[in-house]
Chain A
Amino acid sequence: MDDALAAKAATNEVRPGRLREFWFYFRENRGAVIGLWIFAIFAFLALFGTWLAPHDATAQFRSNTLQPPFWQEGGDWTFPLGTDPLGRDMLSRLIEGARYSFFVGIVVVSIAASGGILVGLIAGFAPKWLDTIIMRIMDIILAFPSLLLALVLVAILGPSLTNAMIAIAIVLQPHYVRLTRASVMSEKPKDYVISARVAGAGRLRQMFITVLPNCLAPIIVQAALSFSTAILDAAALGFLGMGAQPPTPEWGTMLAEAREFILRAWWVVTFPGLAILVTVLAINLMGDGLRDALDPKLKRS
């Protein structure tokens, strides 16, 4: 019991040290901190937005169609950001939309990263022939423009948000494979890996416990960047009618529905796109900060 506690205390001492160091460098970058705050708000809305939204996101108020936002003539506080062509509250739909984008980001990054790390580790440790085959397959996937390949995959699987997420995850995965393999290749000849091998560590232990933790920095940065790519691509697929289907309040799908009203009601087009832009921008700001904080080359300078 005492031993377990002592061990826990010891790890506690090491852990915050690393985190504090990370936070020290992350905090230097003011944009990254702003991005983190915006992302926190976005995550909060995604998790608790359903209870905060003033109206049901799919409820149609037929007498209030295309009502402008409150500061324009004809608008009022019942619908602060106006209503869409079917009389649904824009603000509620935007808040609800945060959940879909957040969900897309989490799921896509989890699938792409876990799959990509696994394949990348295998490629890094495998014999040359297997490594060559894996990397050629990744080259083949990367030869297709990502959005086009995702579009075609969704056409095969059938248009829905789930299939869009699968397609985007497949398209993003090769980046993780390449990144992981490159890190593994540079870590493998180092002394600590050799000593682990000499000490009798099995292949799996070498892969996941010895090498992987030391390859994580670039992968974390990539995860942040592909979180924003996933949101953008899912919205683009939704916009083309190949992602989430109406009446889902996904931001890209909302834009597609609003397209014919662009010259009559600016707010139905402006707000969903602004939501996408602000979210993606916040994540990219965070990603830049993460890179600066985790990249050991830049730390010294």
Chain B
Amino acid sequence: MLNYVLSRLLTFVPTFIGVTLISFAFIRVLPGDPIIVMAGERGLTEERYAELSEQFGFDRPIYAQFWDYLTGVLQGDLGNSFVTKRPVWDEFFSLFPATLELSICAMIFAVALGLPAGVIAAVNRGKFFDRALMSTALIGYSMPIFWWALLLIIVFSGNLQWTPVSGRIDLIYYFPDPTGFMLIDSLASGQTGAFASAVRHLVLPTIVLGTIPLAVIARQTRSAMLEVLGEDYIRTARAKGLSPGRINGVHALRNALIPVITVIGLSVGTLLAGAILTETIFSWPGIGKWMVDSIFRRDYPVVQGGLLLIAVMVMIVNLTVDMLYGVINPKIRKR
């Protein structure tokens, strides 16, 4: 087991260096001189240019720059934003809870609906429920989520006036945010209506972000269940006279869960990509919107640092899923 963990960790190192190299290269392959871009329309004097170029290390050889960058990254130094002048690291982690809260809610939504849908479809294979659920799942899987968001806004915010269009909470509420999770903070603040407002803001983005994972989980659960339902031990359980509910719910689902958990873990990347669109549409102040805004503002240190942090996060999650998979399924370890 230890060997397995160590070998997985070892493959992490070259990938990490590669990811760092790509985000390092980003600022250097951009057309135009980053310092002139940063100076903007005002322009700058020769001395100031030399000073800045020294400050950013652009006057040094490229491998020395990369070494500085790599050691900086390992110490949590990703440079400062051109726009706000704050460290990229701090900005990332002050906005991250918003994205995390949205992603967790989306994932709960997806699992809570996707698992039962997959099980029901598998148990009723080929019948009406199966076809209806799987057609719906395929539609969800094919959904352009930015359009789906606009449709939900038209119906629930426009026509029915149930939900707000943007933000995390109504502006009339103000309270400290020790955790960064709006649901928890609004509840802890004790202000009447704050929690309800936070929930109302969260509903539509959760549905939009959860739609594709929901469809993927439903499809995956169905095929995993179908595979398991054909096994001998299910026949044995049936022969023993166990109730269908117990067979499907306990014997089959538990064994079908392994591939499903993998899919859930691996959809973190999908969630982050989806967060870019979802957060932009709902003005959700998280990482996705921050990245898009920074790309448009040409705030290169932010784009560079954000890209790196997001990639590292996806890598860590994938690595964890891989290892958990090894823990659950001993066959994988042996390879």
What residue of chain B has the Cβ atom nearest to residue A288's Cβ? B138
Contact present for B158 and A262 (CB under 8 Å)? yes
Residues of A within 8 Å of B148, CB to CB, are 273
Contact present for A239 and B277 (CB under 8 Å)? yes
What residue of chain A has the Cβ atom nearest to residue B270's Cβ? A145
A285 vs B280: C-alpha distance in the bound complex, in angstroms?
Answer: 30
Contact present for A151 and B311 (CB under 8 Å)? no
Interchain CB contact (< 8 A) of A284 among B22, B31, B141, B270: B141
Residue A198 is within 8 A (CB to CB) of chain B in the complex: no
Q: Inter-chain contact count A-B, CB under 8 Å? A: 121
Residues of A within 8 Å of B280, CB to CB, are 240
What residue of chain B has the Cβ atom nearest to residue A154's Cβ? B295
Contact present for A140 and B142 (CB under 8 Å)? no
Q: Mark B262-283, 1 if CB is under 8 A from A, else 0.
A: 0000000110111011001000
Interchain CB contact (< 8 A) of B292 among A151, A156, A281: A151
Residue B65 is within 8 A (CB to CB) of chain A in the complex: no
Residue B330 is within 8 A (CB to CB) of chain A in the complex: no
Distance to closest chain A CB from B151 (angstroms): 7
Residue A270 is within 8 A (CB to CB) of chain B in the complex: yes
Q: How large is the interface on B (under 10, 10 to 19, 20 to 34, 35 or more residues)?
A: 35 or more
Residue B150 is within 8 A (CB to CB) of chain A in the complex: yes
Residues of A within 8 Å of B272, CB to CB, are 145, 148
Q: Mark A272-288, 1 if CB is under 8 A from B, else 0.
A: 11101100110011001
Residue B14 is within 8 A (CB to CB) of chain A in the complex: yes
Residues of A within 8 Å of B147, CB to CB, are 255, 269, 272-274, 276-277
For A, the interface residue count at a CB cutoff of 8 angstroms equals 43
- Known contacts: A263-B158, A270-B151. The answer to whether A276 contacts B144 by CB under 8 A is yes
Interchain CB contact (< 8 A) of B269 among A145, A152, A236, A259: A145
Residues of A within 8 Å of B247, CB to CB, are none
Contact present for B307 and A255 (CB under 8 Å)? no
Contact present for A139 and B138 (CB under 8 Å)? no
Contact present for B144 and A259 (CB under 8 Å)? no
Contact present for A255 and B295 (CB under 8 Å)? no
A94 vs B16: C-alpha distance in the bound complex, in angstroms?
Answer: 44
Residue B58 is within 8 A (CB to CB) of chain A in the complex: no
Residue B139 is within 8 A (CB to CB) of chain A in the complex: yes
Interchain CB contact (< 8 A) of A148 among B18, B19, B139, B273: B273
Residue B237 is within 8 A (CB to CB) of chain A in the complex: no
Across chains A and B, which 5 residue pairs bring their CB atoms closest together, nearest first?
Answer: A273-B147, A140-B18, A145-B273, A147-B273, A281-B142
What are 12 A-B pairs at a CB distance below 8 A?
A31-B138, A145-B270, A146-B273, A147-B277, A151-B291, A151-B295, A152-B303, A152-B307, A235-B144, A242-B295, A263-B158, A284-B138
Can you name 5 extra interface pairs (CB under 8 A) apart from A145-B276, A156-B31, A281-B142?
A144-B307, A147-B276, A152-B26, A158-B31, A236-B277
